[in-house]
Structure 1
Amino acid sequence: MPPLIGRRRLLKYAAAGLSMAAVPGAVLAQTAVQRPPKQTVPDEFSVSAPVSIDVNARPLQSFDTRDRSRVRFGELEFRSGLILTSRFRGFGGLSGLRLDPKGERFIAISDKGGWFTGRIVYKGREMTGLDDVEASPVLGPDGKPITSRGWYDTEALALDGSLVYVGLERVNQILRFDFAKGFTRAHGELIQLPLGVRKLPYNKGIEALVLVPKGLPLAGTLIAISERGLDAQGNITAFLIGRTLGLFSIRRSDNFDVSDAVLLPSGGLLLLERKFSWLGGVGIRIRRIALASIAPGAVIDGPVIFEADLGSEIDNLEGIDAHVTPEGETVLTLVSDDNFSMIQRNLLLQFALVE
């Protein structure tokens, strides 16, 4: 299948979030002797207004392209996968995903400052498509799309009841929305952050957000994890915000960076990680972390429960969430960011966690 081989070869040079697109610089405060700042030119892939869209879904027949009968990968079992496309130009760049307890309704975030909401359609245990999909702009405190400020790279997503937290990687900010006040039309408000968050490196800032619910260690705390903000020992920096305050580190190994995280109903934290090299291409893995090991000043680590390379149906996987089926099965849903590139794909993958 030459087209597939060509795509995979090209993917080595374009995936893992590598993009040549420039991001507008920060707007300086205006004084009486300064001209007003120029309005940021909208990105061609930004969502300018709420709109219902159609999303096409093509099923993946298998996850392993070398052995299509294989379904077990580490501690995960492949359930189903979809390749998502749409004629709507702003569809893509999916960097964060959160599902309802049934694994059906979803909220997704695009790294171009857009919300995508809708419903996953199933036939039995397999995904077959998306329905009732709406795209809408992420609004800032002034009620305008955040892209008008030059704020892109909306990478991280966490839920707490009707409250939604969104991490802005390149400007190292976190917005909080109350979806009880207009759903995706709600205005975001900036939350107070530790000084260390603002010092994270450009384009390697906040990449994952997790809100710890009641009944678990660190309940009421927002965990914010950087993509590759490194401490003096070369480990990934992360922050505890809210009820518990502090800084901790995640041991970095094999050149993997963090792309998202999810808290399992059982209390374990899963880290979705990726790496890229010009020779080796793209690699994806998931690590399991004990939530109880996270504390101010801690350096945490955990076993790898899943790993895949370009011999599998992966792309630039940036989002992960979990839900539990009526049968008690824990299902992980992963989504990829295509970087709005013709040689990358928007993938939606589901695996059962074999515990």
Structure 2
Amino acid sequence: MLGLVKRLLAVAMFVPAGACAMLGQPTDEEPLLSFVAMVDLGRRDLLGGVSGLEVDGDGITATAVRDDGLALQFPLAFDADGKLVDVGAVRAAPLGGVDLEAPKGTRDAEALRRLPDGSWLVAYEGDHRVVRHAADWAGLLAPPIRLDLPADIATLPPNKGLESVAVAGDGTIAILAEASGDDGLHRTWLRRDGKWIGRSYRTDPAYQPTDAVFLPNGDLLVLERAFSLLLGVRCRLTRVPAADVAKAEAWEGRVLGAIRPPAPEAEDNFEGLALLPEKDGAVRLLAVSDDNFSDLQRTLLLQFTLTYQAAGPNKGR
């Protein structure tokens, strides 16, 4: 999304934040999404172009991918109340199998997820593919194995491909395409027991999925983004109930709330979503923005909690 973001943001950045204050409000029936903290990573070395994020089970080690083919890893710092306050020194290296001298369309990493055995999945657009790396930092830098994907993934537009990959605790994989078809639905694929099943994802036509995570209870959270010249950049979080993921052919995201800094901070281009370990029965989330290596944008790391009103999700990460 590099070119589109740069073209639109010069206009969008002047739109008052209050112009879309009522967008993305949760309903009474949905879990409560609450903002916790923001860390502005500004122009820190290496922390640009971040498009995929994952956090280890320890809750303090973040791993990310950039849309130029680099892998990043850095510690997260929290205060005594569990509020994110900073990040530590960043290490970076090319993702395994990526040639940094090759055209960007061959190394545009857009999503990062960890499988239950600790191995990594990285999704790319341009040359649409999902690859699997061995566990740990060293595995992420070693040559991967390319997953067999449904044939129709190859027909996705070059810059609206595989931005969202989610992995459930049982190893189920969900992939959502950024592009929508003539019917307005985003093509979606679910992999269970080694087999791919075709699905679709329905949302407001202005929005497109940019990342997704499974909760321990099987619910799917989807990070969505919209652009318009009037309202600028808008991002929000939706939920697909576990029952729909399991049985419905067309999934529909239920809006939980806006993913944005608190006013008067401007909205930004959030592309990465990750789970932190649960605390006090609440789901904890991080969202990261992709600055597209542009001086007009920032790299922000936001922390949220998601609290289920009645029965919470299953314990565990």
TM-score (norm 1): 0.73
* Alignment-derived partner of residue 344 in structure 1: 297
Equivalence for 1:315 = 268
Tell me which of 200, 205, 209 is aligned to 2:165. Answer: 209
User: Does 2:198 match 1:247?
Assistant: yes
How far off its partner does 1:323 sit?
2.4
Match of 1:59 in 2: none
C-alpha distance in 1 between matches for 2:240 and 2:58:
24
> 2:112 — aligned with what?
157
Partner-residue secondary structure (3-state), 2:143: coil
- 2:312 aligns with none
Residue of structure 2 aligned with 1:236, choices 163, 186, 195: 186
**Residues 327 and 252 from structure 1, CA distance in 2 versus in 1: closer, same or farther, beyond 3 angstroms?**
closer
| 1:22-42 Cα distance to aligned partner (Å, 9 max, x none) | xxxxxxxxxxxxxxxxxxxxx
User: Equivalent residue for 1:184?
Assistant: 140
Question: Which residue does 2:250 correspond to in 1?
Answer: 299
For residue 114 of structure 2, what is the amino acid of its counterpart? Answer: L
Counterpart AA for 2:119: L
- 1:115 maps to what in 2? 71
- Per-residue CA distance 1:163-183 (angstroms, 9 max, x = gap): 101110111111110025824
- Any idea what the Cα deviations from partners look like across 1:66-85, whole Å, max 9, x if unmatched? 7xxxxxx7422211101003
Letter in 2 for 1:241: R
Q: Work out the CA distance in 1 between the residues paired with 2:173 and 2:188.
A: 11
Residue 51 of structure 2 corresponds to which residue in structure 1?
Answer: 95
**CA distance, structure 1, for counterparts of residue 163 and residue 296 of structure 2:** 23
Q: 1:128 aligns with which of 63, 78, 85?
A: 85
Which segment is superposed worse, 299-308 or 268-277?
Answer: 299-308
Which amino acid in the other structure matches residue 319 of structure 1? G
Specify the code of the residue in structure 2 equivalent to 1:207: E
Q: What is the SS of the residue equivalent to 1:294?
A: helix
Tell me the CA shift for residue 123 of structure 1: 1.3
| Aligned residues of 1:122 and 1:129 also touching (Cα < 8 A) | yes
The AA in structure 2 aligned to 1:285 is: R
Kept in 2, the 8 Å contact 1:176–1:189? The answer is yes
Residues 304/297 of structure 1: CA separation in 2 closer, same or farther (3 Å cut): closer
Letter in 1 for 2:277: V
Q: Counterpart of 1:261?
A: 212
| 3-state SS of paired residue (1:253) | coil
The CA distance in 2 between the partners of 1:354 and 1:253, in whole Å, is 24
Cα distance in 1 between the residues matched to 2:306 and 2:168: 20
Preserved CA contact (<8 Å) 1:315 1:345: yes
Task: Identify unmatched segments of 5+ residues in structure 2.
Answer: 1-6, 19-24, 27-31, 309-317
Q: Which residue of 1 aligns with 2:96?
A: 139
Following TM superposition, by how much is the alpha carbon of 1:12 offset from its aligned partner in structure 2, in angstroms?
5.3
* Superposed displacement of residue 305, structure 1: 0.5
Supply the distance in 1 between the matched residues of 2:172 and 2:152 (Cα, whole angstroms). Answer: 17
Q: Does residue 283 of structure 2 align to residue 353 of structure 1? A: no
Say if 1:205 and 1:229, in contact at 8 Å, map to a contact too.
Answer: no
Partner of 2:234: 283
Percent of aligned pairs sharing the same letter: 31
User: Which of residues 281, 303, 310 is equivalent to 1:328?
Assistant: 281
The offset of 1:10, in angstroms, is 7.5
Q: Deviations over 1:112-145 (max 9, x none)?
A: 11111111011122212112421111121xxxx3
Shift in CA distance, 86/152, structure 1 to aligned 2, threshold 3 Å: same
Contact 1:193–1:241 (CA under 8 A) maintained in structure 2? no
Name the amino acid aligned to 2:34.
E
CA contact (8 A) 2:109 2:125 kept: yes
Q: Encode CA deviations 1:207-264: one digit per residue, 9 max, x unaligned.
A: 11112222xxxxx33211111142x422100112352321111113141001100111
Give, as a single letter, the amino acid of the residue that structure 2 aligns with 1:238: T
**Compared with structure 1, are the counterparts of its residues 229 and 147 closer, same or farther at alpha carbon in structure 2 (3 Å cutoff)?**
farther
* Native 8 Å contact 2:270 2:288 kept in 1: yes
Higher RCO (C-alpha under 8 Å, 6+ residues apart): 2
Structure 1 residue 309, shift from structure 2 partner: 6.7
Distance 1:279 1:330, change over 3 A: same
Structure 1 distance, partners of 2:256, 2:229, is 25
1:285 counterpart SS class? strand
Deviating 4+ runs (over 6 angstroms)? none
User: Does the C-alpha gap of structure 1 residues 295 and 331 become closer, same or farther in structure 2, counting only changes over 3 Å?
Assistant: closer
Which of the pair has more CA radius of gyration? Answer: 1
Task: Work out whether residues 112 and 152 of structure 1, in 8 Å CA contact, stay in contact via their aligned partners in 2.
Answer: yes
What CA distance in whole angstroms lies between the structure 1 residues aligned with 2:247 and 2:180?
Answer: 17
